[in-house]
Chain A
Amino acid sequence: MKSIALFFQVHQPFRYRRYRFFDIGNDHYYYDDYANETILRKVAETSYLPANELLLKLAGELEGKFKVAFSVTGTALDQFQLYAPEVIESFQQLAKTGCVEFLSETYSHSLSALKDKTIFEQEVKQHEQKIFELFGQKPKVFRNTEMIYSDEIGDCVAKMGYKAMLTEGARHVLGWKSPNFLYVNAANPRLKVFMRNYKLSDDISFRFSNSNWSEYPLTAEKFIGWLTQLNRKEEVVNLFLNYESLGGRQPKESGIFNFFEHLARGIVKHPELKFATPAEVLAEVQPVSVISVPHPISWADEERDLTAWLGNEMQKEAFEKLYEMSPRMGRCTDEELRKDWNYLQVSDHFYYMSTKLFSSGEVHSYFNPFESPYEAFLNYMNVLSDFQIRLNSMFPKNEQEQEIAALHKIINEKDEKITKLEKQLTRLQKPRTRKKTTKKKK
């Protein structure tokens, strides 16, 4: 019996507006509300809502035999609350069926795991809390941003109390091994590792409607055929897709929803296949060996490395400058600053700056609101500069800045006092003039 573990990623970044250098220090609002709202509404209507409806139907009709896991980022949830609360409701309905497991990850889909453990832990905790608030589940399995994983990150995740982590079944890591088994972390064997089967996953999410593909058209029967042809001993196939694949990247007209429904019914009916949530897999399947990943991997591009986010000088500068602020952010409790800090970390910003765009363009440009990586970098750095100014005024970096901050504070206080006194003055002046006129009349 082979378990099919189906995972969906739901993520939306907060896109920045065109933030020019004139705005630095003058305007602290960074977001393109129009773009964020229209994009989110569109994705919700073409993908998230109809897909949730389908999954809800499957969960009911297949009598609990259909299982699925979701990895929903904090920034996506924030946007649902702002622009499409009905999506949260439909996820809540799904959660009630008991067929759905929620995974843990960084709140803002950030790269903090690569840089700062304290920030990373903070982010994970914040996400966990949000999931619990909304769906009443405490996640046991962790999925890092963009499937970024290494022995070290795995160890860190294990220490936070997670039982397992999901990552890319990268060829250069697996070698001759198959992704269709459960593995354990090389540094901390208590952490189990799920490997994504990228071939089968991408067949659905990328290639499904590509008429140039030799396997086009892909039918549910064909896909189930591939699953059964796998080695009998292989125990778990991890299919991890972007949720937008249903209805977004693969539009409704391509027949993706029908395909998916037939696939789900076919797997449930099949004697050798079944759906399983990650938690169920952990309970049923024994790990076969250690998987050693000394250098971080991801699920991006051919190389499956970090170069899509941290490949060029610009990305590195932006990344360094961002996390330079983390010690001070650790002490910051200001709500506005914390929110902006979270959204600054979203990995998408770094992705937009990738100069790989020119070579492996297609996938990169699909998600990119900027015309060139240079534009993306300029915009981000301007926002970051403004954020630095705000943080400096709250937590000055050196004596001079401390003094400036103190003076600013005094000026602001005096300003307030002046306006208060002015108001009092005008209030006091009014009755007096009235009195004078009355006196004259007498």
Chain B
Amino acid sequence: MKVLMFGWEFPPHISGGLGTACYGLTKGLAGLKNIDVLFVVPKMFGDEDQSIIKLKGANTVPVSKTQIEFEGTQKKMETIEIKSDIVPYLSEEDFWELKKKRFPAKTRFIQTDNGFKINFSGKYGDGLIEEIKNYALVAELIATENTFDVIHSHDWLTYPAGIAAKNKTGKPLIIHVHATEFDRSGGNINPVVYSIEREGMEMADKIIAVSNLTRNTIIEKYYIPPEKIEIVYNAVDSSPRKHNLNFRKNENEKIVTFLGRITMQKGPEYFVEAAYLVLKKMENVRFVMAGSGDKMTTMIKRVAELGIADKFHFTGFLKEDAVAEMFRLSDVCVMPSVSEPFGIVPLEAMQAGVPVIISNQSGVSEILDHAIKIDFWDTYAMADSIYGLLKYPSMSKHLKKAGKIEAGKMKWDNSAQQVSKIYRDVLIKSNVKV
């Protein structure tokens, strides 16, 4: 069975939650014997050109074809990169780094974090929609030139591409919802994005949601029949992260970490308030907010206002090895997300042996037993849990051990297996139809 997959960012240029999920799942699928993946991504960084093929057609879109080999599997996966004018980036830092390189004037940079939040009011304008349409056109060409059995699209930017491929070939389309406009915007819905999402969902033969939370959003906000939506939970890559940076940690001091973008969706303000409550009662503890985002200055102001700036630190965006180092230093990791379709960070923390506190408003809370769960707005409960984890050693000890085991069980191979079953079901169903 061959899958035409429309993805987004891809290593070596590592990305946020969606990129990680996309990569993990594809790697898992590549490990399965009967599945071949043809991976299509918008060309990102321009430093891996090997054999550029020009596709004939309406657009003279340069496309690069490479083969990617996964560790541990013998198969090679074909990857097609489309030289699109969309350049995804993850953080402010990434953005500046990219800006330093040369890009054509019309290149659009899109912040992709977990969810491609796009500000249409600004200079991007409708041009982005045009780009997405162009991307869909190329997708159509790729679809005609290759053979495959199913189409798999990840999140809304690639839905039009998926739809185009489906219309051209009549092959079944599966869309994978990692986040919806409701998660990204916090209720301030962009109608264009919403309509693209909804069209994708309606055209799809099957929808994969990353959690029950997301599934419910799709049913309630997009009016999709429940039987069309399957849940496949994300997982965590078990490759051990190396950390060479050797910060020495003060043994008598505890560190509580918030790791993620500092945006409304992630609920950073609740973490600050909880920190204030804990610091009223405890001396030897520091709070760290690792990440960047549009709410960062507000948070810094609030911290100063509360008078806890000597115990509350901001690190800015952390690169992968720094993240591993941060986990090593942390005694507790908190994810107070207001709306989180899944949330991979807690799984990574657990794998690194850090006890986690997560909000009930996250998809990952549906599958975790060995995590402390609170409502994101309940700063008293959050503070109480932090205090307890630092003060009563047995709970932290238990969570470290049990959490590591639990996170270890969440393998991409399992998710991939579920996805391949969905492929099979869809194929059987469409054959019957024909």
**Are chains A and B native binding partners rather than an unrelated pairing?**
yes
Residue B394 contacts which of A316, A372, A375, A385 (CB distance < 8 angstroms)?
A316
How far apart sit A188 and B211, CA to CA, in the bound complex (Å)?
Answer: 59
Known: A22-B277, A22-B380. A382 touches B388 (CB 8 A): yes
Chain A residues with Cβ below 8 Å from B380 are 20, 22
Encode B264-288 as 1/0 by CB contact (under 8 A) with A.
0000000000000100110000000
Q: Is the CB of A377 within 8 A of B402?
A: no
How many whole Å from B177's CB to the nearest CB in chain A?
Answer: 28
Chain A residues with Cβ below 8 Å from B370 are 355
Q: Is the CB of B281 within 8 A of A377?
A: no
Q: Is the C-beta of A21 less than 8 angstroms from some C-beta in chain B?
A: yes
Known: A22-B277, A314-B398, A355-B402. A378 touches B373 (CB 8 A): no
Residue B384 contacts which of A313, A358, A378 (CB distance < 8 angstroms)?
A378
Q: Is the CB of B388 within 8 A of A378?
A: yes
Known: A22-B380, A382-B388. A371 touches B373 (CB 8 A): yes
**A interface, over-half SS:** helix
The contact size tier of chain B is 20 to 34
Q: Is the CB of A20 within 8 A of B394?
A: no
Known: A20-B380, A22-B277, A381-B392. A313 touches B398 (CB 8 A): yes
Q: Is the C-beta of B158 less than 8 angstroms from some C-beta in chain A?
A: no
Which B residue sits closest to A24, measured CB to CB? Answer: B281
Q: Is the CB of B369 within 8 A of A358?
A: yes
How far apart sit A358 and B391, CA to CA, in the bound complex (Å)?
Answer: 25
**B interface, over-half SS:** helix
Q: Is the C-beta of B383 less than 8 angstroms from some C-beta in chain A?
A: yes
Q: Is the CB of B399 within 8 A of A374?
A: yes
Chain A residues with Cβ below 8 Å from B393 are 317
Encode B368-395 as 1/0 by CB contact (under 8 A) with A.
0110110000001101110110011111
Which A residue sits closest to B398, measured CB to CB? Answer: A313
Q: Is the C-beta of B397 less than 8 angstroms from some C-beta in chain A?
A: yes
Which B residue sits closest to A371, measured CB to CB? Answer: B373
Chain A residues with Cβ below 8 Å from B372 are 372, 374-375
Chain A residues with Cβ below 8 Å from B399 are 374
Q: In chain A, residues 19-46, which have Cβ atoms closer than 8 Å to a Cβ of chain B?
A: 20-22, 24
Residue B383 contacts which of A21, A24, A316, A385 (CB distance < 8 angstroms)?
A21
How many whole Å from B161's CB to the nearest CB in chain A?
Answer: 42
Known: A312-B398, A313-B398, A355-B402. A377 touches B277 (CB 8 A): no
Question: What number of A-B contacts does a CB cutoff of 8 Å give?
Answer: 62
How far apart sit A23 and B126, CA to CA, in the bound complex (Å)?
Answer: 55
How many whole Å from A365's CB to the nearest CB in chain B?
Answer: 13
Q: In chain A, residues 55-90, which have Cβ atoms closer than 8 Å to a Cβ of chain B?
A: none
How far apart sit A391 and B399, CA to CA, in the bound complex (Å)?
Answer: 30
Encode A312-335 as 1/0 by CB contact (under 8 A) with B.
111011100000000000000000
Chain B residues with Cβ below 8 Å from A378 are 384-385, 388, 392, 395
- Of A20, A355, A358, most buried by chain B (CB within 10 Å of CB) is A20
How far apart sit A21 and B277, CA to CA, in the bound complex (Å)?
Answer: 10
Chain B residues with Cβ below 8 Å from A24 are 281
Q: Is the CB of A22 within 8 A of B373?
A: no
Encode A198-212 as 1/0 by CB contact (under 8 A) with B.
000000000000000
Which B residue sits closest to A357, measured CB to CB? Answer: B369
How far apart sit A314 and B394, CA to CA, in the bound complex (Å)?
Answer: 5
Encode A372-415 as 1/0 by CB contact (under 8 A) with B.
10110110011001000000000000000000000000000000
Q: Is the CB of A381 within 8 A of B369?
A: no
Chain B residues with Cβ below 8 Å from A318 are 394
Which A residue sits closest to B397, measured CB to CB? Answer: A313
How many whole Å from B375's CB to the nearest CB in chain A?
Answer: 11
Chain B residues with Cβ below 8 Å from A374 are 372, 385, 388, 395, 399
Known: A22-B281, A377-B388. A313 touches B394 (CB 8 A): yes
Chain A residues with Cβ below 8 Å from B397 are 313
How many whole Å from A27's CB to the nearest CB in chain B?
Answer: 14
A21-B387, A312-B394 known; 8 new pairs, CB 8 Å cut-off, are A22-B281, A313-B394, A314-B394, A317-B393, A317-B395, A374-B385, A378-B392, A381-B388
28 contacts between A and B (CB under 8 A): A21-B384, A21-B387, A21-B391, A22-B281, A24-B281, A312-B398, A313-B394, A313-B395, A314-B398, A317-B392, A317-B393, A317-B394, A317-B395, A318-B394, A355-B370, A372-B373, A374-B372, A374-B385, A374-B395, A374-B399, A377-B392, A377-B395, A378-B385, A378-B392, A381-B388, A381-B391, A381-B392, A382-B384
